[in-house]
Structures are given as structure tokens and as C-alpha cells.
Amino acid sequence: MQKLEKKCKQLLLQENIDADSEIDFDVNGATHTLSYAYIIETFMQASQESQLVFVVALQKAIEAEKIGVEKFFQGMGQLLLMTHLSEKLEV
């Protein structure tokens, strides 16, 4: 596990937030479920600069209490799904 990925998961653990928590997204009537851990792992495959931005944003979300963390992962999950769908459209 990468250092920054581990840090993200530790941040959640310190706040008693389960990294296996899941969010459901409705995309054109189909439900896609992403876990916090999956979202973290996927973003940790990006450039090092993007990884650092993700970690800092997660820290800010945690400072905004649990609702901030949930909103953060909703936004990051939506971004992943939009990116995935746009990649499919280019094929």
C-alpha cells in the first residue's frame, strides 16, 4: 500500500469512519456502488501532485466533520464515474 493511500485510510480510522463505507450512485437508472477505500485506491493511481491534492482535500473534509467527509467522497465518486463514462464514450 502506498504511503499516501495508507495516510488517507488512517485519517478515516482516526475519525472512526469505516473505509469500507459505500456510496450508491444512480447513473442512467443503473446503481453503481463505490466504497471509500475504492475511491482512495483509484485516486492514488493518479500523479503524485493529484494524490497530494486528494489527501489535503480529505483532511479539510475531515475538519468539516463527518458530513464533510461524506460530501467529499460523493464528489470524488461522481468524478470517477464521470471520468469512467467519458472514457467509454471515446472508444
User: What is the tens place of the pLDDT at every residue in 73-89?
Assistant: 999 999 999 887 666 65
pTM for this one? 0.87
Q: How would you label 49-87 residue by residue, b for 16+ Cβ within 10 Å and e otherwise?
A: eebeebbeebeebbeeeeeebeebbeebbeebeeeeeee
DSSP per-residue codes, 24-60 = EEEETTEEEEEEHHHHHHHHTTS-HHHHHHHHHHHHH
**pLDDT tens per residue across span 20-78:** 999 999 988 989 999 999 999 999 999 999 999 999 999 999 998 767 899 999 999 99
